[in-house]
Amino acid sequence: MKSCGQLSIDEHTRKDENTCCDSTNAVFMATTPMPVSVNSSQLIYDALKSADVRLISALPETWLVHLIQMADDDPDVTLVRLNKEEEGVGISAGAHFAGVKSAMLMQNHGFLASVNAIVSLAQLYRIPLLMLISYRGEMGERDPWQTEGGLMTEPLLQSLGIPYQKLSDPTAVAKQIREAQTLAESSMRPVALLLTRELMWEE
C-alpha cells in the first residue's frame, strides 16, 4: 500500500477531492511542469462546443487536465465531476433525455471500469454516448501501471461493438469529433475517440 507521498500523479488524480492526496496532488501539479498540450486541448474543447456539447462529465486525469479546466471555466458548459467513471454513463443518459448533448472524458482504465454501465444502460437502452478516452499504455508509455490497460482498450472496444477512432492529427480533430457525435446520435449508441500521445503530449 502506497502512502500519499508515494502515489504517482495519475494515481493521485483518482482520489476523492476531500482526501489528503488531493492536496498533495494540487501542490505537485502546480509546481511540476506537465507537457500536456494546451493547444490540442483547446482544439478538442472548441470542437466539442461546435458539436453543441453542453454537458461534460469527467474524473481528473493528467492528460485531461486542461480540458477539464476549460469546461470548468466556461459558463455555457456544465461540468460534472465524477467519483467513478461509470457514473458518467448515467449523467449522459439523463442529459440525453433532457435534450442536452454531452460527452464523457476519461482515461482508458476508467473506460475499462465503466463497461457494466455502458453495456447495461447506454447500449441496452440506446443512449448516444460520446466518450473521449485518453489512450494510456501506447508506444512511449513510461508508467508501468498504464501498460496493461493500454493493451486491452482497443480489443474491448471491438468486442463491445463500439465504433472508435484515434485522434492524433490536430488538423483532423474538429472533423473527427463532429462525425463521432453525429454517429452517436444517429445510431443511438456509444462512440469512442481515443486521445493519443501524439496529440496530447508535448515532449
Buried b (16+ CB within 10 A) or exposed e, 85-107: bbbbbebbbebbeeeebbbbbbb
What pLDDT score does 1 carry?
39
How many other C-beta atoms are found inside a 10 Å radius of the C-beta of residue 28? 16
- CATH code at position 155: 3.40.50.970
What's the mean per-residue pLDDT of the chain? Answer: 85
Average pLDDT over residues 61-89: 95
The distance between the two most distant Cα atoms of the chain, rounded to a whole number of Å, is 47
Phi/psi at 34 (5° precision): -120, 125
Give 20-74 pLDDT, tens digit per residue.
444 334 333 444 456 899 999 999 999 999 999 999 999 988 999 999 999 999 9
What pLDDT score does 9 carry?
38
- Residues 6 or more apart from 199 whose CB is under 8 A from it? 37, 40, 167, 168, 169, 170, 173
42 and 90: one domain?
yes
* Local confidence band at 76 (pLDDT 50, 70, 90 cut-offs): very high
69 and 8: one domain?
no
Residue 181: its H or E element: helix 173-187
Phi/psi at 132 (5° precision): -105, 115
48 and 99: one domain?
yes
117 and 48: one domain?
yes
123 and 42: one domain?
yes
Has residue 151 got a pLDDT over 90? no
18 and 90: one domain?
no
Supply the DSSP symbol for 193: E
What pLDDT score does 34 carry?
66
Q: With pLDDT > 70 as the criterion, what percentage of the chain qualifies?
A: 83
18 and 52: one domain?
no
3 and 80: one domain?
no
- Residues 6 or more apart from 98 whose CB is under 8 A from it? none
Count: domains in the chain: 2
159 and 145: one domain?
yes
User: Can you give 84-123 as a three-state secondary structure string?
Assistant: CCCHHHHHHHHHHHCCCEEEEEEEHHHHHHCHHHHHHHHH
125 and 71: one domain?
yes
4 and 97: one domain?
no
Has residue 7 got a pLDDT over 70? no
Give 119-133 pLDDT, tens digit per residue.
999 999 999 999 999
- Residues 87/57, Cβ–Cβ less than 8 Å: yes
User: Comparing 202 with 194, which gets the higher pLDDT?
Assistant: 194
151 and 116: one domain?
yes
Q: Which domain holds residue 18?
A: 1-33
